[in-house]
């Protein structure tokens, strides 16, 4: 699977010099933009060279066996090309062409034909009807038709991160990548799996256990093999976040029993997620808004949350949201309240802690008091940025969170645009709405509970931030 | 449970299922459905299948009044709608009259089912279905006549752990019905957990079973008892 993301040589079947040729865009991306150094061959009817990539009229004529073939020709030609790939000994094929199982019986029959050839020859197929792979660290991308300047490819490749995405639809790939431009998330790998006739989301969850990935984000249109997905997710010690479309009921038509009549695909998927420790997302935006909670903050180990605000109204708004999310507005102990009283400028020493105009040190003191309190598992700071020093205190808060091993989901009610502008630069995980911040705490806690349930952690004290692979691995081995 | 017991239960299930599959039935009768779900740790009503009025009367007396009489046949999947149920029969005369009434309906029957009458205010449902992507799945929820209207149910993909079963029981909206309720004691959740795990196991081991409805599961003095059950077979689904 590694070579799907980091091939040392590639052939693009269907790249030519005709106008609007999609295969050529892949060559251009590799050569001009990514400065890919391995050989890139092309195969087209004339055998012509495309942007310096040597051209051949058949795969069989290539001077070597490439690590990977990318196919982007009309569907009817694909089965023949796959047979040529098999003859040439190519083991990895990305079929970007559409017109297979998604396109009626003929297409489905062709897809089956391809599967048979691939299976008989030990080949792995990605797609059909997909974009293939992108790896920021390997500086590789097989996506067609992507204009690097339009989707901010620079930022994506220059600051590799630790989120890997498995996305069924090509359009959503671009949406997610574009959203990340404004968010505090770096990409490790992206893979678009299309019809997933062979490589599917479960294979990739397995694969992402072994690389730099910290969080796995998935967009699914259908589940091919539910049990395989559950098995892969159960074994994943990295959070698996899934947004699935198709929440409408289906399959209830032929039911004879009440049970089958009430079972909807969506209800079953929801249950499967709970059983397998999959975090099911509520919107497509959560694919980019939530991962930062996992990469930048410790996990929320209990459900007791303390709020801290300098603008009382947001305390009440967030309190409702917390309770709805199943989290607990923790009553602060007498000892904690005494400490808060001494901190000065505090209007309310009970949860939510509310302060008036105060100097930076007061903010820091309150962070410290709340995070060090035994009764508090996590923090929800709702801080209006009425002075720029508030931002500076948030950077200190990040350090304290790591020190106390408790997370904070930060929301800045009055300066969202400014906060968003600085969050990537200062790597402060700021959420854009109170709903998003509460949701981040809630999924963090859900993930903790699922690690516990799946035997990855044995004792509450043993859990650490997920970016510390060493500790997590140690804990996992202890659990096994 | 001893190994011998497990084997015996497995034998009962296999016998009933293979006979039904051979005969081309789409479903099992209530009586046979209950024998199967009983092997999966679902408590069922005390009941006997009889073939004569005399037998009906004597078995009713043995079970203890009041009793319920139901027409029994694999094809009879909607007994109440067909008028094939007589409840709250308090003595021998009631039973004899009900027996004659059911027999006079002219509907094909493989016998008359005499069962204890279970009274309780709370009714739950346990079910099994097969999802095209996830395979056998177990359902728990509010049962009785409002099951479909309320749709207060939860699902788990089989096989279930005890913890899965506990979680799904507590996932329904009307979870308070599990507590002590209107003078009745709290529901014995261990019994529900064993039943849910058992039904999941049944779905995993028997492909011939397509769907199961156990509805209602009436709670009597805290103990849930299956009052009706329906096993739908895979082979003859269209």
pLDDT over 80 (residue A322): yes
* Cα A452 to chain centroid, rounded: 22
Option in B131, B148, B212 nearest A262 (CB): B148
What is the CATH code for A295-453?
3.40.50.261
Return the residue of B nearest to A276 by Cα: B157
* Cα A42 to chain centroid, rounded: 32
Q: For A35-61, what is the HEC assignment?
A: CCCCCEEEECCCCCCECCECEECCHHH
Option in B135, B155, B212 nearest A267 (CB): B155
Instruction: Specify the pTM.
Output: 0.90
Please indicate if any CB of chain B lies within 8 Å of the CB of A271: yes
Q: What is the pLDDT of residues A66-97, one digit of tens each?
A: 999 999 999 999 999 999 999 999 999 999 99
Distance CA A478, CA A472 (A): 10
Contact list in A for residue B154 (CB cut-off 8 A) is: 271
pLDDT over 90 (residue A234): yes
Complete edge-to-edge strand list for the sheet that includes strand B47-50: B47-50, B111-116, B67-72, B85-89
Which part of chain B is CATH 3.30.470.20? 120-233
What's the topology of domain B47-116?
Dna Ligase; domain 1 (3.30.1490)
Q: How far is A224 from chain B (nearest CA, A)?
A: 6
Please indicate if any CB of chain B lies within 8 Å of the CB of A253: no
Q: Per the CB < 8 Å rule, is B133 touching A251?
A: no
Contact list in A for residue B129 (CB cut-off 8 A) is: 255, 257, 259-260, 263
Contact list in B for residue A255 (CB cut-off 8 A) is: 129, 211
User: ipTM of this model?
Assistant: 0.88
pLDDT of residue A149: 67
Q: What is the pLDDT of residues A149-186, one digit of tens each?
A: 666 677 788 889 999 999 988 778 877 877 777 788 78
Contact list in B for residue A251 (CB cut-off 8 A) is: 131-132
Option in A227, A254, A270 nearest B135 (CB): A227
pLDDT over 70 (residue A462): no
Which of A271, A277, A326 should one mutate to test binding to chain B, selecting the residue with the greatest count of B CBs within 10 A? A271
Option in A223, A259, A269 nearest B211 (CB): A259
**Confidence class of residue A346 from pLDDT cuts 50, 70 and 90?**
confident
Contact list in B for residue A272 (CB cut-off 8 A) is: 134, 157
Option in B134, B147, B168 nearest A272 (CB): B134
Q: Per the CB < 8 Å rule, is B232 touching A256?
A: yes
Please indicate if any CB of chain B lies within 8 Å of the CB of A109: no
**Confidence class of residue A198 from pLDDT cuts 50, 70 and 90?**
very high
Which of A220, A258, A267, A455 should one mutate to test binding to chain B, selecting the residue with the greatest count of B CBs within 10 A? A258
pLDDT of residue A24: 94
Contact list in B for residue A200 (CB cut-off 8 A) is: none
How far are the Cα atoms of A192, B87, B112 from residue B62, in angstroms, in the given order?
A: 68, 17, 16
pLDDT over 50 (residue A126): yes
Distance CA A244, CA A226 (A): 13
Q: Per the CB < 8 Å rule, is B133 touching A256?
A: no
Dihedrals phi, psi of B114, to nearest 5 degrees? -105, 125
Residues of chain B under the 70 pLDDT cut:
1-2, 235-238
Distance CA B170, CA A335 (A): 36
Q: What is the dihedral of CA A370, A373, A374, A376, to 10 degrees?
A: -10
pLDDT over 50 (residue A300): yes
Q: Per the CB < 8 Å rule, is A258 touching B148?
A: yes
Option in A257, A262, A453 nearest B212 (CB): A257
pLDDT of residue B182: 84
The residue-averaged pLDDT of A401-411 equals 97
What is the CATH code for B120-233?
3.30.470.20
Dihedrals phi, psi of A287, to nearest 5 degrees? -60, -30
Q: What is the pLDDT of residues B217-236, one digit of tens each?
A: 999 999 999 999 999 998 64
Q: For chain A, what is the HEC assignment?
A: CHHHHCCCCEEEECCCCCCCCHHHHHHHHHHHHCCCCCCEEEECCCCCCECCECEECCHHHCCCCCCEEEECCCHHHHHHHHHHHHHHCCCEEEECCCCCHHHCHHHHHHHHHHHHHHHHCCCEEECCCCCEEEECCCCEECCCCCCCCCCCHHHHHHCCCCEEEEECCHHHHHHHHHHHCCCCCCEEEEEECCCCCCCCHHHHHHHCCCCCCCEEEEEECCCCCHHHHHHHHHHCCCCEEEEECCCCCCCCCCCCCHHHHHCCHHHHHHHHHHHHCCEECCCCCHHHHCHHHHHHCCCCCCCEEEEEECCHHHHHHHHHHHHHCCCEECCCCHHHHHHHHHHCCEEECCCCEEECCCCHHHHHHHHHHHHHCCCCCEEEEECCCCCCHHHHHHHHHHHHHHHHCCCECEECCCCHHHHHHHHHHHCCCEECCHHHHHHHHHHHHHHHHHHHHCCCCCCHHHCCCCCCHHHHHHHHHHHC
How far are the Cα atoms of A146, A280, B141 from residue A269, in angstroms, in the given order?
A: 33, 9, 17
Q: How far is A176 from chain B (nearest CA, A)?
A: 27
Which of B37, B81, B145, B157 should one mutate to test binding to chain A, selecting the residue with the greatest count of A CBs within 10 A? B157
pLDDT of residue B24: 87
pLDDT of residue A255: 58
pLDDT over 90 (residue A465): no
For chain B, give the DSSP string: --HHHHHHHHHHHHHHHHHHHHHT-SB--HHHHHHHHHHTT--B--EEEESSHHHHHHHHHHH-SSEEEEEE-TT---TTTTT-EEEEE-SHHHHHHHHHHHHTT----SEEEEEEPP--SEEEEEEEEEETTTEEEEEEEE-GGGHHHH--EEEEESSPPHHHHHHHHHHSTTGGGGS-BTTBPPP-HHHHHHHHHHHHHHHHH-TTEEEEEEEEEEEETTEEEES-EEEEESTT--
Complete edge-to-edge strand list for the sheet that includes strand A55-56: A55-56, A40-43, A10-13, A68-71, A92-95, A124-126
Q: How far is B213 from chain A (nearest CA, A)?
A: 6
* Cα B215 to chain centroid, rounded: 6
Option in B134, B210, B215 nearest A226 (CB): B134
Contact list in B for residue A263 (CB cut-off 8 A) is: 129, 131, 137, 139, 155
How far are the Cα atoms of A4, A73, A309, A353 from residue A140, in angstroms, in the given order?
A: 10, 21, 45, 49
Q: Per the CB < 8 Å rule, is B155 touching A227?
A: no
The gap between the terminal CA atoms of chain B, to the nearest Å, is: 38
Distance CA A324, CA A320 (A): 6
**Confidence class of residue A286 from pLDDT cuts 50, 70 and 90?**
very high
Q: Are A399 and A410 in contact (CB under 8 A)?
A: no
Q: Per the CB < 8 Å rule, is A268 touching B77?
A: no
Q: What is the pLDDT of residues A357-379, one digit of tens each?
A: 888 999 999 999 999 999 999 99
Angle (CA) A84 A89 A94, round 5°: 70
Q: Per the CB < 8 Å rule, is A230 touching B157?
A: yes
């Amino acid at each position: 699977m590694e070579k799907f993301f980091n091939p040392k040589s590639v052939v693009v079947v269907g790249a030519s010099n005709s106008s609007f040729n999609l295969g050529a865009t892949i060559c251009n991306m590799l050569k001009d933009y990514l400065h890919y150094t391995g050989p890139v061959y092309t195969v087209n009817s004339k055998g012509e060279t495309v942007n310096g990539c040597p051209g051949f009229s058949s795969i069989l004529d290539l001077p070597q066996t490439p690590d990977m073939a990318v196919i982007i020709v009309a569907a009817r030609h694909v089965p023949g090309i796959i047979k040529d790939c098999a003859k040439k000994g190519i083991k990895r094929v990305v079929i970007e062409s559409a017109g297979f199982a998604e396109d009626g019986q003929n297409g489905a029959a062709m897809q089956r034909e391809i599967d048979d050839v691939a299976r008989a020859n030990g080949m792995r197929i990605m797609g059909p009807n997909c974009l293939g792979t992108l790896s920021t660290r390997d500086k590789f991308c097989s996506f067609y038709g992507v204009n690097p300047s339009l989707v901010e490819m620079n930022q994506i490749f220059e600051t590799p991160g630790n989120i890997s995405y498995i996305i069924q639809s090509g359009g959503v790939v671009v949406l997610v990548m574009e959203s990340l431009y404004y968010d505090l998330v770096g990409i490790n790998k992206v893979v678009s799996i299309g019809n997933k006739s062979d490589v599917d989301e479960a294979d990739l969850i397995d694969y992402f256990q072994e690389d730099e990935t910290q969080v796995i984000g998935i967009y699914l249109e259908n589940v091919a093999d539910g049990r395989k997905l559950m098995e892969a997710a159960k074994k994943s010690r990295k959070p698996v976040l899934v947004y699935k479309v198709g929440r409408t009921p289906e399959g209830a038509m032929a039911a004879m029993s009440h049970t089958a009549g009430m079972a909807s695909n969506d209800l079953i998927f929801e249950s499967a997620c709970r059983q397998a420790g999959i975090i099911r997302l509520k919107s497509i935006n959560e694919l980019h808004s939530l991962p930062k909670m996992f990469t930048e903050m410790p996990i929320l180990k209990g459900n007791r949350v303390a709020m801290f605000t300098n603008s009382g109204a947001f305390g009440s708004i967030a309190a409702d949201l917390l309770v709805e999310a199943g989290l607990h507005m923790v009553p602060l102990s007498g000892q904690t309240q005494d400490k808060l009283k001494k901190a000065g400028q505090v209007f309310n020493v009970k949860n939510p802690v509310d302060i008036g105009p105060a100097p930076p040190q007061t903010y820091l003191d309150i962070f410290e008091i709340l995070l060090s309190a035994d009764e508090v598992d996590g923090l929800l700071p709702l801080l209006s940025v009425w002075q720029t020093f508030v931002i500076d205190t948030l950077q200190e808060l990040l350090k304290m969170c790591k020190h106390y091993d408790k997370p904070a989901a930060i929301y800045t009610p009055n300066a969202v645009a400014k906060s968003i502008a600085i969050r990537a630069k200062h790597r402060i995980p700021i959420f854009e709405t109170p709903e998003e911040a509460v949701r981040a705490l809630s999924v963090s806690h859900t993930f903790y509970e699922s690690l516990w349930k799946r035997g990855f952690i044995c004792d509450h004290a043993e859990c650490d931030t997920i970016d510390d692979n060493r500790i997590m691995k140690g804990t996992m081995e202890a659990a096994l | 449970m001893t190994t011998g017991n497990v084997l015996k239960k497995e034998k009962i299930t296999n016998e009933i299922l293979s006979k039904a599959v051979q005969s081309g039935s789409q479903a099992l009768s209530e009586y046979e459905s209950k024998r199967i779900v009983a092997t999966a740790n679902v408590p069922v009503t005390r009941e006997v299948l009889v073939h004569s009025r005399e037998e009906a009367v004597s078995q009713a007396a043995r079970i203890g009044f009041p009793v319920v009489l139901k027409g029994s046949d694999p094809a009879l999947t909607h007994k109440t709608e067909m008028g094939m149920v007589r409840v709250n029969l308090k003595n021998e005369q009631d039973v004899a009259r009900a027996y004659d009434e059911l027999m006079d309906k002219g509907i094909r029957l493989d016998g008359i089912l005499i069962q204890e009458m279970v009274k309780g205010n709370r009714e739950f449902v346990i079910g099994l279905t097969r999802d095209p992507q996830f395979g056998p799945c177990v359902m728990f929820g509010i049962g009785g006549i409002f099951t479909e209207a309320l749709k207060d149910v939860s699902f788990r993909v089989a096989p279930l752990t005890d913890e899965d079963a506990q979680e799904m029981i507590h996932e329904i909206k009307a979870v308070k019905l599990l507590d002590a309720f209107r003078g009745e004691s709290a529901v014995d959740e261990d019994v529900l957990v064993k039943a849910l795990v058992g039904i999941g196991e049944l779905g995993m081991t028997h492909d011939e079973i397509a769907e199961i409805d156990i509805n209602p599961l009436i709670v009597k003095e805290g103990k849930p008892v299956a009052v009706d059950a329906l096993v739908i077979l895979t082979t003859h689904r269209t």
